[in-house]
Structure 1
Amino acid sequence: MSISGLHITMLSGLMFVAVNFAWRRIPGLGNKVPTRKAATFAAVLTALIYALIAGFSVPTQRTLYMLMVFGVALWSGRRFVIAQVLAMALLIVVLIDPWAVISAGFWLSFGAVALLSFAMGARVAPPHWLKVAIQTQWAVTIGMLPLLLIMFHQASIISPVANAVAIPLISFFVTPLALLGSFLPIDWPLHLAYYLLEHCVVFLNWLNKLPVSVWQQHAPALWTLAPAIIGVFWMLLPRGVPLRWLGVFGFLPMMLISPIRPLSGEMKATILDVGQGLSVVVQTSKHTLLYDAGAKFNAQSDAGSRVVVPFLQGEGVKMLDGFIVTHDDNDHSGGMDSVLALMPVDWFASSMPEAVIIPTDTERMKCYAGQSWHWDGVDFEMLYPNLSDYENTEIKDNDRSCVLKITSESGSLLLTGDIERHAETSLVLENSSSEAAILKSDVLVVPHHGSKTSSTTDFVEAVAPRVAIFTVGYLNRFKHPRPEVTDRYKSIGSSLYQSDYHGAIELSFSKHRDLSQIVVTNWRAQRKRYWHDKF
C-alpha cells in the first residue's frame, strides 16, 4: 500500500474542519487571526507532518506543495485555477529535487492530476458523486495508459475494479482507523483496520490472479506517445463534442507497431547490462535464445526479474525458444529462476547439476561439444564442454561453462561464459587440429569478465575478434577487466566495449545493399546523459 495524495488531502481537510469548528467558538481568537486563516495554517502543517512521516516521495511532495499553494491563495485572498496550482507545485518539486524528472512517479503523479483536472473541470454543473467516481476511474484508466505502456510495457486491466473497492475502503475506513489507533490508547480501531485491510488484500489477490489482469506488450516507440496523448485528450473532452471515439485511433501506433526483427540469415544480439554478471539475448527472424540470466542480488531481487524479463517483454518476446545457463555461479545463474517463472521456455541447456529444478513442460539437456542447430539461416554450435569433462571432478565449474558459437551470413559471435586457462587450452588445441578455424569469430564476449585467469595469449590470437566485449560491474571488487587482459585484445586491433561504461551493447549482424556488416551500438550512446561522460 502506498501513501496516496488523497490520504494527505483528507487528513488535511479533517484538520481544517476541526480547527475551523473550534476556532470560531473560542472568544477572542477570531479577532486576532481570522478563522479561515487559522484553519488553513493548521491544515497545511498537518499535511507537512504527514508527508514527512510518509517518506516525502514525489507524489507526496506534489500533494503537499499543491496544498501549500492553495493555502497561500486562501491567506492572500486570491483565487488560483488548478492549472496554476499544478504548475507552481511542479516548479517547487523541480527546484528542490531536479532529478525528480527521471522518476516514473513524477510523470505519473503530475500526469494523473492534470488529466483529472482536464476531465472533471470546467463543467456547467457538478454531477452526482457516483457519476464523478465513474468518470474519475475512466479518466485515469484511459489517460495513464500511454505513460504506463511507455515506461513499463504493461497496464492493469483490473485497476478500475480494484480502485473502486480499495480506494474508498482504504481512504475512508482503514486509514482513519489506523490513525485513530495510533494516537489514542485503544486497540479496537487497529484491529478493525487490520480486519478490513486483510479482506481487501484477499480480494485484490483474487483479481490479480485472473488471466486478464494485466495487458502486456512490446515497448512502444517513443514517437507513438504523441498521437496517444492526443487521442486521450480527444476522448476525455466533455459530452457533446462529436466523434470522441475517434481518439481510440491515437493508440493504434503504440499498440500495433512492433519492434523490427532480423531478416532470415541475420541476427541481433544484445549483451545486457546486469552489473557483474552475464546475460545475452540472441534474436533471429523467428527465434529467441537467452544465454545466462545475470546475478541474484537478494531474496527479493535478481537480474532476471529486474533486467532480463523486462527487456524480453519490451522486445515483444512471449516465449524463449532456448535458454542456456553456462554454469552454477550466481552472476550467471542467479536470475534463472525468475526467467523460468515469468517466461515460457521451450528447452533448457546447462552444465549445472541435475538437482536444479525447472518447469516440467521445459525440455532439459546438458550442454556439450557437438550440439548444433539451425534457426532462420543462422547456425548455432556448442564448442565446449566435452562430455568427459562432466566426469572429471577436478575441473572447476568455470571450466564447464557452455561455450557457444553463433554464425550468421554477416558474421559470427562467440559466447564463452567463465572459461579459464584449462578450457581455453582445450579449445585452442581442438582449433589447431581442426581443418576449420572453429574459434575464429568477429565478436567475442570475453571469458570470465576479463579476469587474469582467462584470455590467454593463444586463445586471444585464435579467436582474433574484431570486437571484444567485457561484461563487468561498475567499480567491481575483482577489478575486472584486468589491464594485462585488455592489452592483449588491443594488441590484435580489437575494438573494446565495457558494459559498466557503455551500458547494454547491441550487435546487429545484417546485410545492407548486399554488403555484410556488424553494427555495434550501446545504450549510453543512444540515451546520452551528462553523468555518462565520466564514471
Structure 2
Amino acid sequence: MRYAVILFALGVWIFQQLPSVPPAEWMLLGTLALTAAAVAGFLARERLSVRWRWVLPGLLALSAGLLWAGWRAEWRLADELPMAVEGRDVVVSGVVAGLPQALGDSVRFVFEVESADAAVPVRLLLSWYADRRSGELPPPVHAGERWRLTLRLKRPHGFSNPHGFDYEAWLLERGLRATGYVRKAEGNRRLAEAGGQPMLRVHRLRESVRERFATVLGEGAQAGILTALAIGDQRAIAPAQWEVFRRTGVNHLVAISGLHVSLVALCAGGLAGWLWRRVPRLLLHVPVRRVALLAAVLAATCYALLAGMGIPVQRALIMLVVAAAALHGGRELAGSRVLALALLAVLVVDPWAVLSAGFWLSFAAVGVILLMLAGRLQALTGWRAALRVQLAITVALVPALLVLFQGFSLVSPLANALAIPLVSLVITPLVLVAVLVPLEAPLHLAHWVAGTMMGALEWLGARDFALWQQAAPPVVAVAAACAGLAWLLLPRGTPARPAAALAVVPLLMWAPPRPPAGAFVATVLDVGQGQAVHVQTTGRDLLIDAGPPYGPVADAGERVVLPYLRAAGVQRLDLLVLTHGDADHAGGAASVLDGIPVSAVMTGDEAVPATDGSRRRCRAGEAWTWDGVRFRVLHPAAEDAGLRRDNDRACVLRIEADGGAMLVASDIEKAAERALLARGTEGLASTVLVAPHHGSRSSSTAALVQAVRPREVLYSVGYRNPFGHPHPEVWARWTASGARAWRTDSQGALRVVADGQGVRIEAERERQPRYWHGR
C-alpha cells in the first residue's frame, strides 16, 4: 500500500510539472484504459507472477495520480475569466468569503459571485482602494456580507523569476480564478446579509474574535502573533517579526498547522477520556478510546474552522483524521502506513499540495519523527526523546530548507527548545481560553509571555551566525544529502552511520557557476511595472534599480530582488545603481540595503540622496572594468542639469563584454535622448537594449533607434499596466529596425548571457512553463 501511495503521489507531482493540460479526450481514454487494466489485473491476480504483482499496481497508481491531477486541473481551469472580459467593467453580486484584510487605505477580500452581467469565475480576489482624487476611504467590508459591486478584473497573473514565488499556482490551489478591484460606481451597495451558510457564520465569528483581540490588546507588539494562533490570520504580524522567525527557524509556530491542531486534539481527547472514566456505566457501552478519539477529532475540526480552514490547516486536519480513523478501527497500523494514508487523502483533496513548501516540510518532519521512534530496542521517552527528535528534524530538513528557502537557522534547535513549550503549553492554551471565555486576563498574560519569548528569539536571531544562507543547490547534491541524512538517523549499530554525514558536505559547499572572465550575465527581473537588473561578472555583482513598492508594507526589494539574490548565491553587492528616484525604480532600495551588504551606491539624481562616501553621483564619462567586462556611464552629463524632468536625469549605463554589449536606458525621454545623441553616437550601439521608460511613447525616438541598432529589445513592464507600456508605436519602431522584442509581463525574468560566443537570451516562463501560466 505504501508503495502504491508513493507512486500515486509521484504521478500527481509529475502532472504539476507539465507545460499544458492534455486534451480532455486523451484523459478520458486514459481513464478508461486505467479502469480496464485495473479490472483485468484484479481478475487475473492469481495468475500474475511475483514481479507483475509489484509492477502492475505501481503502474496503475502512477497513472491514477496523473489522471486525478489532470481531471482536477481541467475542472478548475474551466472556471476562468474570458479574455474579452479583462479590463472592462463588470457588475456582480455575491458575498464576502473569509476575513477582509485592511492594507493602509485599502481593503482586500475574497468574493464569491452569485450573479454577474458577464461570464466571471465563482471566486475572486478583490481590492477596494481609496478614491485617488478625494482620498475617500472604502466603506467597511465584513465577512459574510452580500454586496453588489462594479469590478475591473484580470486573469490570474504573478511574477516569474528564478526560484521565485509562483503566485499563479497559489491562486489556483485556492480556487481564486481572477483578481481585480472595485470601481467607483453609484451601484456599489451593501445588500441583505448572506444568511445562514455555515462557513460564512464561521468567518463572521472569526472576524469578531479578531476585533475583540484588537480592542483588548490595542497596539500591543505581539497582538498579531496571538491573532494568528487564534484564527490563523497572520497578516497582522510585523515584517520584522517574520524576519526573527526566519532567522531562528520557528516560523511553523505561528502558522496553525499539525502542531497546533494535534495539541488541541490531544487536550480534548485526554479531557474527554478522563471524564468518561469517571462514569463506569458509560464504559460498558462505549470504550474510552473511541470517545477520546471522537472528542479529539471534533475539537480539532472546530479549531480548524476557527482558523479559516486554510490549505495548511486542511492538510493537518486530514492527517489527524486518518490517524484517528486507523486507531478507531482497532487496527494497530504501522506509523508509516498511517502517514501513507494521510498523504493519499491530502493529495485526493488537494493535488496542488505538492507545489507547497509546507506540504514537503510537514510530511518530512512526521517521517523523521517516525524514523526516530521506530526500530529502537529501548523506546525514547521524556525530554531526551523530545530533544533528540527536535535535533533530528532540524538536521533532516536542511536539504529541503536549502531548496525551498536557500537557508536554514543554525540556532533553530535552541530557539525551538524555548519556543515550542511556550507556544504549545502556555500561549496557545491561553489564547484559546480567551476565545472561548470573554475575559481579558488570559489574553494579557499570553501577550506578556509572547513578548518575553520574542525578546529571547530576537537576541538569538541577531547573532551573526544565526542563519546559514547559500544558493539553491542542484538536484544531485540534494538527493545525496537526503540519502546520507536518512542513513545517519537510523538506529545505533547501523554500519557507517557517522560517515553518512559526509554526504551533506557537497550540499553545503556547493556554489553556482559564475561567468568566465570577459563575460557577464544580466537578469532583468520580473518586478511588475518597474525595473531591477542584476549584472554578474566572474567575481562582482551589480544591481541596477530595485523595483517598485507593492503597497504600504511590501516592495520588490523584499519580495523579488532579495529572494532572487539569495537563490543565486549573491552574498554582497559591489555596486547598487539607482538610476533615478521614481518609485518604480527605487521603491525597493531600502529593503535591498537592509537585506544585503552593499559596498557602494551610485545615484542618478538628487531625489536619491548621496549622504556618505560610499555613495556617488552617476555622471557621464565615468567608466570601470570588472573581470574584463567594461562599464560606462553615458548619461547624465554635467550640462544636463537643466533638464526639467526627473526621468531625463536618469542614469544610463552601457555594459560591454567580448560577445556583445547591453544598454540600460532607465526612464530617459526625448529630451534626454537628444542630449545623449548630441554627445556622439559612437558608443551607443549595443546588442541588447533595456527599452527606455518601459517602452513609453515619450521615448525611443527614431534617432535613438538608428544610433543603438540592437538585435534584442527588452521591455520591463507590468501585466495590463495602466500606462499601456510598451506603446504599439514604440514596439513597431524597434521591431522595424530588425530587433527582436522580449517583455517581462508575458515571458517572466529575462536572462542575458554575453560571452565569447555572442549574446543569448532566455525567458523564465519559457524555461519552466507550467499549465496554469496565463490561465
Deviation at 1:136, TM superposition (A): 0.9
- Structure 2 CA distance, aligned partners of 1:425 and 1:104? 51
Deviation at 1:121, TM superposition (A): 2.0
Deviation at 1:465, TM superposition (A): 0.7
Match of 2:595 in 1: 342
Of 58-67 and 132-141, deviating more is 58-67
- Structure 2 CA distance, aligned partners of 1:185 and 1:291? 54
Match of 1:444 in 2: 689
Match of 2:713 in 1: 468
Q: Which amino acid aligns with 2:644?
A: I
Match of 1:235 in 2: 488
- Asked if 1:427 corresponds to 2:668, the answer is no
Matches within 5 A, 1:58-137: 58-137=311-390
Give identity over the alignment, percent: 42
Q: Which amino acid aligns with 1:311?
A: Y
Of 327-336 and 28-37, deviating more is 28-37
1:38-95 Cα offsets, whole Å, 9 max, x none, are: 3322210110111122243444333211221122223322232222222222222222
Deviation at 1:344, TM superposition (A): 1.9
- Structure 2 CA distance, aligned partners of 1:441 and 1:203? 54
Q: Equivalent of 2:761, from 520, 527, 532?
A: 520
Q: CA RMSD in A?
A: 2.0
Q: Equivalent of 1:384, from 635, 655, 660?
A: 635
Of 79-88 and 127-136, deviating more is 79-88
Secondary structure at 1:349's aligned position in 2?
strand
Matches within 5 A, 1:226-375: 226-353=479-606, 356=609, 360=612, 363-375=614-626
> Contact 1:4/1:60 (CA < 8 Å) preserved in 2?
yes
> Contact 1:70/1:80 (CA < 8 Å) preserved in 2?
no
> Contact 2:610/2:616 (CA < 8 Å) preserved in 1?
no
- Asked if 1:161 corresponds to 2:414, the answer is yes
Deviation at 1:197, TM superposition (A): 1.6
Q: Which amino acid aligns with 2:289?
A: R
Secondary structure at 2:680's aligned position in 1?
helix
> Contact 2:610/2:617 (CA < 8 Å) preserved in 1?
no
1:491-524 Cα offsets, whole Å, 9 max, x none, are: 122111111111111111112xxxx311211212
Residue 231 and residue 57 in structure 1: after superposition, are their counterparts in 2 closer, same or farther (change >3 A)? farther
Q: Which amino acid aligns with 2:446?
A: A
Q: Which amino acid aligns with 1:71?
A: A
Deviation at 1:236, TM superposition (A): 0.6
- Structure 1 CA distance, aligned partners of 2:580 and 2:607? 12
- Structure 1 CA distance, aligned partners of 2:320 and 2:599? 54
> Contact 1:289/1:322 (CA < 8 Å) preserved in 2?
yes
- Structure 1 CA distance, aligned partners of 2:471 and 2:751? 17
Match of 1:220 in 2: 473
- Structure 2 CA distance, aligned partners of 1:483 and 1:476? 14
Match of 1:152 in 2: 405
Structure 2 gap ranges (5+): 1-253
- Structure 2 CA distance, aligned partners of 1:233 and 1:355? 52
Match of 2:120 in 1: none
- Asked if 1:486 corresponds to 2:737, the answer is no
Of 184-193 and 293-302, deviating more is 184-193
- Asked if 1:406 corresponds to 2:659, the answer is no
Structure 1 gap ranges (5+): none
> Contact 1:327/1:351 (CA < 8 Å) preserved in 2?
yes
- Structure 2 CA distance, aligned partners of 1:130 and 1:24? 28
- Structure 2 CA distance, aligned partners of 1:220 and 1:230? 15
Secondary structure at 2:671's aligned position in 1?
helix
> Contact 2:748/2:763 (CA < 8 Å) preserved in 1?
yes
- Asked if 1:196 corresponds to 2:437, the answer is no
Match of 2:748 in 1: 503
> Contact 2:375/2:491 (CA < 8 Å) preserved in 1?
no
Residue 177 and residue 71 in structure 1: after superposition, are their counterparts in 2 closer, same or farther (change >3 A)? same
Deviation at 1:142, TM superposition (A): 0.6
Secondary structure at 2:616's aligned position in 1?
strand
- Structure 1 CA distance, aligned partners of 2:589 and 2:634? 22
> Contact 1:62/1:110 (CA < 8 Å) preserved in 2?
no
Deviation at 1:448, TM superposition (A): 0.9
- Structure 2 CA distance, aligned partners of 1:357 and 1:492? 39
- Structure 2 CA distance, aligned partners of 1:219 and 1:206? 27
Secondary structure at 1:290's aligned position in 2?
strand
Match of 1:45 in 2: 298
Secondary structure at 1:274's aligned position in 2?
coil
- Asked if 1:396 corresponds to 2:645, the answer is yes
Deviation at 1:439, TM superposition (A): 1.4
1:144-201 Cα offsets, whole Å, 9 max, x none, are: 0001111111110111001111111111122222222332344433333222221111
1:408-466 Cα offsets, whole Å, 9 max, x none, are: 1110000000111111222233335xxxx221110000111111111122211221110
Q: TM-score w.r.t. structure 1 length? A: 0.93
